[in-house]
């Protein structure tokens, strides 16, 4: 259960395995690389939710990358039919399925990661190369949809500097909401030696970001 992952809702978070990115700072790397074993199937999930009607009002799909699962829209339909709102987390690398979900109104809220400036996007995603046109298309789909959304960046001292936030700002110029969340190290993070920027640095990055979007804020910064 979470009060944080789905704004305005008491929700449960559903973690879906598999991801096409390999971000070095990922908290759920065992989901990305497939080493985590499933704990329930769709039928068990729906049974779980049926027993929690009145206790929960939302379901947040995260990962991994949920949009790797082509049958996700059908599961969303079933969950919505039970009376739950649905949130989707995505890396933005699957605009076709995202577009279908947005057109059908299957997600009430979408949170999309913006990894870094274009020049650093592949490295920050743990890849040799990346098709940025997929990312920019997903950004455009969200910004031109009727679905509530946010963009967010996990800020890592070793990957981000001030100019990156100017370039990311240009990528999402005019967006409703943009959150900068400080990296937090965990045992599941695949690479050591990473750290969060100091609070003063985060505030400086925020000051840059607010010039490009309607609302920007920090998360995970004391």
Taking each helix axis from N to C end, the angle separating 132-143 and 95-104, rounded to the nearest 10 degrees, works out to 10
Asked if the model's pLDDT at residue 222 lies above 80, the reply is no
- On whether residue 118 sits in a domain, the answer given is yes
Asked whether the CA dihedral 165, 99, 40, 55 is positive or negative, the reply is positive
pTM (2 decimals)?
A: 0.93
- On whether residue 119 sits in a domain, the answer given is yes
- On whether residue 5 sits in a domain, the answer given is no
The mean-pLDDT minimum among 28-37, 108-117, 120-129 falls in 28-37
Q: Which domain holds residue 206?
A: 11-219
Which CATH number fits the domain that encloses residue 70?
A: 3.20.20.70
- On whether residue 2 sits in a domain, the answer given is no
The mean-pLDDT minimum among 6-15, 166-175, 196-205 falls in 6-15
Q: Give the model's pLDDT for residue 191.
A: 66
Taking each helix axis from N to C end, the angle separating 162-171 and 199-209, rounded to the nearest 10 degrees, works out to 30
Overall number of domains in the chain: 1
- On whether residue 6 sits in a domain, the answer given is no
Residue 189 pLDDT class (50, 70, 90 cuts): low
Q: Are 175 and 152 in contact (CB under 8 A)?
A: no
Interstrand relation of 11-15 and 58-62 (parallel, antiparallel or unpaired): parallel
- On whether residue 102 sits in a domain, the answer given is yes
Instruction: Give tens-digit pLDDT for 143-169.
Output: 999 999 999 999 999 999 999 999 999
- On whether residue 4 sits in a domain, the answer given is no
C-alpha–C-alpha distance, residues 184 and 181, integer Å: 9
Which position has the higher pLDDT, 33 or 90? 90
């Amino acid at each position: 259960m979470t009060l944080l992952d789905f704004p305005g809702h008491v929700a449960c978070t559903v973690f879906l395995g598999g991801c096409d990115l390999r971000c070095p700072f990922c908290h759920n790397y065992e989901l990305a690389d497939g080493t985590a074993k499933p704990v329930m199937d769709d039928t068990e999930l729906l049974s779980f939710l049926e027993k929690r009607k009145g206790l929960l009002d939302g379901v947040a799909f995260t990962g991994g990358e949920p949009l790797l699962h082509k049958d996700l829209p059908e599961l969303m339909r079933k969950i919505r039919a039970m009376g739950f709102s649905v949130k989707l987390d995505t890396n933005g690398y699957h605009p076709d399925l995202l577009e279908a979900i947005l057109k059908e109104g299957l997600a009430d809220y979408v949170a999309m990661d913006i990894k870094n400036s274009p020049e650093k996007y592949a490295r920050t995603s743990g890849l040799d190369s990346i098709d940025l046109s997929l990312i920019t298309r997903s950004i455009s789909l969200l910004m031109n949809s009727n679905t509530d959304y946010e963009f967010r960046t996990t800020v890592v001292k070793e990957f981000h500097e001030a100019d990156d936030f100017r370039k990311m700002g240009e990528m999402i110029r005019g967006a409703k909401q943009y959150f900068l969340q400080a990296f937090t190290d965990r045992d599941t993070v695949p690479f050591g030696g990473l750290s969060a920027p100091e609070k003063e640095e985060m505030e400086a990055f925020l000051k840059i970001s607010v010039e490009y979007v309607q609302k920007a804020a920090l998360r995970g910064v004391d």
